[in-house]
């Protein structure tokens, strides 16, 4: 059956990079990929047109689609608006509205770009790890929360780290499923020595592991995981962790690679529907100049093929095509180094299509 993709370019470089990703999807359609694409507005573009960063109608179209491809939102034009209609609110609304609880953040360092990392090339070259972050629970959402004034007049601030067993179970299953599609190694990150809720997390992950006998499971305390990520990141295949730990570790892992324009991401619901987007923002400093690196968005398409459209062979092809253009020495300005050929956004997209 024909799968439907809702394309939401957003703002700033979102428009330019998504156009290149769409070229890649069009090329795959000619090779038999059975998808239909439709476009919608999100972020500042939607606020300009409809007075809000994501309309209920667009959210309904996202619910009806099999996958959403998003560029980026935001920019100086909308920064002084009330918080409720700022572009970023559109992102929160679509993530919550689609119940995207599993956030996949790969950190891949192509050997061709090993010099871009601040770590020694031998530590990071060839790095390929995936952090699975729980996205809709934990301390960012737990109740009670707030700041209160105590009897002695001093203020007291508090947030609550809370997970139900079913929330842990679904993120664990999501991570095991992903490990099965990769290197079959999963490291669950917690703070079970101090926090009871993550002691329970560990127990639930152990229980789910029985359904995945092929996956080698390990556990690590979050402080050690942070240390290991910068000491020897290649020891990891898939890591799974709570919302807050994942927030921090995934940004650290992303920066191991040194190139924000290269990193895709996915957020999945329980049924495999996903939203796919580069991890970077709308880059207003370079928007409209044809300078943006479209590879993070093109690699997001590869993730979409693998995790929502069930086309792993096509996902491999897209990833290989990206490697090929890097081998050819083509570089956008953000990943440029001496001796390479500097290209713009469209030229890079065309090169990937040609390599496909
Ligand atoms: P940013 O990621 O947009 O840019 C940071 C730096 O990286 C800039 O110098 C930019 O030019 C560069 N960069 C980013 N993507 C690039 C690419 N594909 N190719 C080449 N260079 C690239 O972060 P920021 O400057 O902090 O934020 C700009 C706007 O984006 C803000 O409005 C912010 O709220 C928004 N934002 C949106 C998202 C999202 O849509 N998911 C994420 C982060 C920030």
Arithmetic mean of pLDDT over the chain: 95
> Is the Cβ atom of 75 under 6 angstroms away from ligand 1?
yes
pLDDT tens string 297-309: 999 999 999 999 9
How far apart, in whole angstroms, are the C-alpha atoms of residue 90 and residue 48? 13
Q: Which atom of ligand 1 is nearest to the CA of 286?
A: 11
Q: Examine the pLDDT at 212 and tell me if it is beyond 80.
A: yes
How far apart, in whole angstroms, are the C-alpha atoms of residue 322 and residue 316? 10
pLDDT, residue 132, reads 97
How far apart, in whole angstroms, are the C-alpha atoms of residue 243 and residue 258? 23
Q: Which atom of ligand 1 is nearest to the CA of 76?
A: 32
> Is the Cβ atom of 251 under 6 angstroms away from ligand 1?
no
Q: What's the DSSP call for residue 111? A: G
The full set of domains in the chain, from first to last, is 1-101+269-356 (3.40.718.10), 128-254 (3.40.718.10)
pTM score, two decimals? 0.91
Q: Examine the pLDDT at 203 and tell me if it is beyond 90.
A: yes
> Is the Cβ atom of 44 under 6 angstroms away from ligand 1?
no
Average pLDDT over residues 329-333: 95
**Dihedral angle of Cα 329, 335, 339, 345, to the nearest 10 degrees:** 60
260 alpha carbon to ligand 1 midpoint, in Å? 9
Show the tokens assigned to 161. Answer: 């780290």
Take atom 7 of ligand 1 and give the residue whose Cα is closest.
Answer: 283
Q: Examine the pLDDT at 258 and tell me if it is beyond 80.
A: no
19 alpha carbon to ligand 1 midpoint, in Å? 17
């Amino acid at each position: 059956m024909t799968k439907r993709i809702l394309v939401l370019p957003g703002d700033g470089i979102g428009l330019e990079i998504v156009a290149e990703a769409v070229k890649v999807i069009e090329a795959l359609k000619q090779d038999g990929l059975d998808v239909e694409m439709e476009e919608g507005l999100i972020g500042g573009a939607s606020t300009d047109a409809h007075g809000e960063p994501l309309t209920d109608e667009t959210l309904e179209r996202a619910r009806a689609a099999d996958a959403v491809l998003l560029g980026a939102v935001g920019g100086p034009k909308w920064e002084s608006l009330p918080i409720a209609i700022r572009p970023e609110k559109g992102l929160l609304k679509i993530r919550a509205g689609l119940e995207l609880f599993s956030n996949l953040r790969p950190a891949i360092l192509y050997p061709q770009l090993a010099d871009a990392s601040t770590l020694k090339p031998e530590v990071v070259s060839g790095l390929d790890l995936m952090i699975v972050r729980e996205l809709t629970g934990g301390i960012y959402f737990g109740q009670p929360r707030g700041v209160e004034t105590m009897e002695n007049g001093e203020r007291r601030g508090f947030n609550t780290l809370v997970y139900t067993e079913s929330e842990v179970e679904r993120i664990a299953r999501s991570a095991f499923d992903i490990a099965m599609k990769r290197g079959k190694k999963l490291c669950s990150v917690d703070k079970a020595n101090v926090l009871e809720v993550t002691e329970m997390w560990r127990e639930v992950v152990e229980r789910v592991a029985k359904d995945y006998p092929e996956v080698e499971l390990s556990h690590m305390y979050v402080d050690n995981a942070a240390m290991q990520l910068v000491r020897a990141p290649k020891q990891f295949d898939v890591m799974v962790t709570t919302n807050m730990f994942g927030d921090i570790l995934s940004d650290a892992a992303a920066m191991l690679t040194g190139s924000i324009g290269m990193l895709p991401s996915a957020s999945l619901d329980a049924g495999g529907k996903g939203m796919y987007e580069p991890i970077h923002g709308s880059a207003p400093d370079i928007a409209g100049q044809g300078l943006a690196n479209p590879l993070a968005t093109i690699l997001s398409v590869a993730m979409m093929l693998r995790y929502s459209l069930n086309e792993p062979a096509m996902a491999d092809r897209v990833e290989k095509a990206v490697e090929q253009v890097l081998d050819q020495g083509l570089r956008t300005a953000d990943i440029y180094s001496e001796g390479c050929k500097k290209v713009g956004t469209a030229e890079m997209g065309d090169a990937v299509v040609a390599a496909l």
